[in-house]
Amino acid sequence: MSASAVSPSAAQERASSTLHGRVSLASERWPEQTAVAMDGERLSYAELEAAGNRLARLLIERGVQRGDRVCLLQPKSPQAIVSMLATLKAGGVYVPVDVASPAVRVQRILDVAEPRVVLAGQAAGKLAGELRIEAEWGVVDGAKNGEPADGTADEGHRQRERKGAGFGAAEAAAKDDGALPTETAPHDAAHILFTSGSTGVPKGVVITHAMVTAFLDWALPYFGHRSGDRISGHPPLHFDLSTFDIYGTLSSGGELHLVGPRVLLPAQLARFIRENELTQWFSVPSTFAYMVKGNAIEDGDFPTLERVIWCGEVLPPAVLAHWMGRVRRPSYTNLYGPTEATIASTYHTVTEPPRDTSVPIPIGTPCGGEDVLVLDEHLQPVSAGETGELCIAGAGLSPGYWRDEERTRAAFLTQPGTGERVYRTGDLGRRDERGTLHYAGRVDSQIKSRGYRIELGEIETALSALEGVGECAVVAVPSEGFEGTLICCAWSAKPDAELDPPKLRKKLREALPSYMLPARWLQMPELPRNVAGKIDRRGLKERFAESARNA
Amino acid sequence: MPEAEIVERIERIFSDTLSIAPPAPDVDMIEAALLDSLGLVTLLFEVEQEIGVQLPLEALEIDDLRSVQRIAQLVARMQGSEQGGNSKEAGGRASSGAGDGLVGADTEKSNKAPTGGAGDGPVDSDTGEEAGT
């Protein structure tokens, strides 16, 4: 063997260091098996790989280079998975966008992401028509059964003509489907997930290949993924959770069953699990509760299920007890973790149905390669049993927010003692004597004022209950004075309400202890809203902070 | 509650919680693929909480949920039957092993702490951050 030759195992190792490389390895091993299925449409591993290679060549031809963004304006579909893989194969970074979002919000994401190419689905044709797209864009999900179902493709077509450039599924189909060389390094970005936050400016979390492969290296052996697994794809593709569905399945030879747009009712979700004989169901707790409430789960249901996993919210123990009582075979695992550390950072597998449903389910212990610290406000560890902020360190950490130094610096810090880089989750938690972590609410809704711990939400609830109050928002602003933190309230009165500020304060005094009473009041005709339509708390905070400085 | 007010409240949930521009009341949301099942779950739980009504999830037809108008009609119907004291009919869930109280109360808890799991969620809590994973 010559010195320059790459040994097969080295090539394999290199392929394993990227997400698309792992899918390619699986495609070599299990070409005939189903990779992705939805609504009767199926792609085998060989087909997935070939379609990805063809579209990647088209992307490269249209200028995509290593590190360039490709925005995906596509509904959940096998084609959307092909688009993700094609982007990675071309060296690019995909940005999945929720096609149901208002055009204003999508526009902001496009403006910030600066994609080289936009890959749209026909269903997003109307949305695309409302956008100002600087990049080249094309429609990649060729008309199903020949003809589009409605006028959206025409709309897309008109757009394309107006833009002059653009491409369709036919251009990709004409490309060569052989493997492409890849220059991607493990710490290159693979995708950027935009979360809306409260400020109206979308926040893009950069997720690298290495972050995801580190999670998979723990998760796949832990959960025992294998070829032939039939795994749900329930969360939308712009959710971090879907990353595990996609790459967990497609790197281990399993079938990814995407839950399509017509599977909506509790009974339909249950039928989906049954008829596809799923081995893994992974979703958010509200879905679990929804299925219980809809009484969709029979006794002894889902006999093929081996793993039930949830993440993203707190699962009510009563809901878990119901599931475990009726679906007895699978293991039940709670995952916890923010997008900033991709998919999950801790896990807790529940072995017995909860008997006392008032005891919350722990978030557990760190996943392999991750470290979770419970820190005080000076980033010093608190003792076991004490509540502090959950901070994450280790292999899963994002390099930061896309082109947002300020937010990155605010959220990703260096722990003074160890010099370790940590992400502040904004979640409170505690570690018990046995080392198990427990979730204890959000940091930002809890403040300390004059030594008291105060939940801002509690003040808002009390205010909203008062007659005549239309809307209200309570925010905390740091102050120089002895209070440490000023509680500030913006509110509006209902149209016919006879309510003035002194009256309101008097009424609130009857409902709350004095240390919870806001110190600053601002009556407004209506409260300011951000682009997502939510009350603009950050804007209000800035306004109060300014007036506090001027005072 | 008059239907027009229910429609207004539902529209609020669309913009506040789902970050989706509220569709016109008669738009077929299912056809337009505006909501996937996760979006629908969030919408229905929010409707229950915001308007204080129990929806008969077990007996629902997809047609009941096609548009904001239809959902508002369903809510109005449920309110009507609850006021009429015919609670069995209202829930249609008398036989449900799940039991309303069981999940009802706890679901509320979980929805109030949507960020509970951290970082990547769909559902924005009103405190602003998007529910994480």
Is residue A327 domain-shared with residue A199, that is, in the same domain?
no
ipTM: 0.70
Is A330 within a domain? Answer: yes
- Domain count across chain A: 3
Is B14 within a domain? Answer: yes
Is A343 within a domain? Answer: yes
CA distance A314 to B115: 8
CATH of the domain at B40: 1.10.1200.10
Is B54 within a domain? Answer: yes
B85 to chain A, any CB pair closer than 8 A? The answer is: no
Last residue in a domain, options A163, A179, A207: A207
When pLDDT is averaged across residues B12-33 and rounded to a whole number, the result is 85
Residue B49 CB neighbour total at 10 angstroms: 16
Is B38 within a domain? Answer: yes
* CA neighbor of A17 nearest in space, from A236, A183, A198: A183
Chain B residue with minimum CA distance to A196 = B130
Is A228 within a domain? Answer: no
CA distance B129 to A14: 37
Q: For chains A and B, what is the number of CB pairs under 8 angstroms?
A: 230
CATH of the domain at A288: 3.40.50.12780
* CA neighbor of A230 nearest in space, from A301, A173, A303: A303
Q: Collect the ranges in chain A with pLDDT lower than 50.
A: 1-3, 143-153, 155, 158-162, 164-165, 197-199
* CA neighbor of B9 nearest in space, from B70, B67, B50: B50
Is residue A391 domain-shared with residue A520, that is, in the same domain?
no
- Stretch among A343-352, B20-29, B113-122 having the lowest mean pLDDT: B113-122
* Cβ atoms A470, A491 nearer than 8 A: yes
Among candidates B14, B103, B119 on the partner chain, residue whose Cβ is nearest the Cβ of A318: B103
Q: Which residues of A touch B37 (CB under 8 A)?
A: 234, 259, 263-264, 268-269, 287
Among A106, A269, A284, most B C-beta atoms within 10 A, so best to mutate, is A284
Is residue A313 domain-shared with residue A278, that is, in the same domain?
yes
Q: Please report which helix (H) or strand (E) contains residue A448, including its range.
A: strand A446-449
Is B127 within a domain? Answer: no
Is residue A170 domain-shared with residue A68, that is, in the same domain?
yes
- Which region holds residue A306: left if phi is over 0, alpha if psi is between -120 and 50, else beta? alpha
User: What is residue A132's predicted lDDT score, i.e. its pLDDT?
Assistant: 87
CB pair distance less than 8 Å for A316 and B123: no
CATH of the domain at A513: 3.30.300.30
A407 to chain B, any CB pair closer than 8 A? The answer is: no
H-only helix segments in A255-316: 266-275, 285-293
- Domain count across chain B: 1
Is residue A413 domain-shared with residue A539, that is, in the same domain?
no
Is residue A401 domain-shared with residue A458, that is, in the same domain?
no
Q: What's the longest Cα–Cα distance across chain A?
A: 90
User: What is residue A359's predicted lDDT score, i.e. its pLDDT?
Assistant: 83
Is B104 within a domain? Answer: no
Is B117 within a domain? Answer: no
Is residue A352 domain-shared with residue A397, that is, in the same domain?
yes
Is A245 within a domain? Answer: no
A537 to chain B, any CB pair closer than 8 A? The answer is: yes
Residue A211 CB neighbour total at 10 angstroms: 27
B36 to chain A, any CB pair closer than 8 A? The answer is: yes
3-state DSSP assignment of residue A314: coil
Inform me whether the pLDDT recorded for B16 exceeds 70. yes
Is residue A420 domain-shared with residue A384, that is, in the same domain?
yes
User: What is residue B82's predicted lDDT score, i.e. its pLDDT?
Assistant: 65
Is residue A416 domain-shared with residue A467, that is, in the same domain?
no
pTM, rounded to two decimals: 0.78
Last residue in a domain, options A207, A226, A244: A207
Among candidates A265, A292, A442 on the partner chain, residue whose Cβ is nearest the Cβ of B98: A292
The pLDDT-based confidence of B88 (bands split at 50, 70, 90) is very low
Structural domain boundaries enclosing A23: 18-29+36-207
Is residue A433 domain-shared with residue A478, that is, in the same domain?
no
Is B130 within a domain? Answer: no
Is residue A414 domain-shared with residue A458, that is, in the same domain?
no
Is residue A417 domain-shared with residue A494, that is, in the same domain?
no
The DSSP symbol for A47 reads H
Distance from CA of A85 to the nearest CA of B (A): 21
Last residue in a domain, options A417, A442, A467: A442
**Tokens 């036919």 map to which residue?**
A170
Chain A residues 36-75 with a CB less than 8 Å from chain B: 75
Among candidates B15, B41, B57 on the partner chain, residue whose Cβ is nearest the Cβ of A532: B15
Chain A residues 474-513 with a CB less than 8 Å from chain B: none
Among candidates B36, B117, B129 on the partner chain, residue whose Cβ is nearest the Cβ of A261: B36
CATH of the domain at A91: 3.40.50.980
- Helix then strand then coil, in percent of chain A rounded to 5, is 35, 25, 40
Structural domain boundaries enclosing B65: 3-98
Residue A275 CB neighbour total at 10 angstroms: 9
CA distance A392 to A182: 31
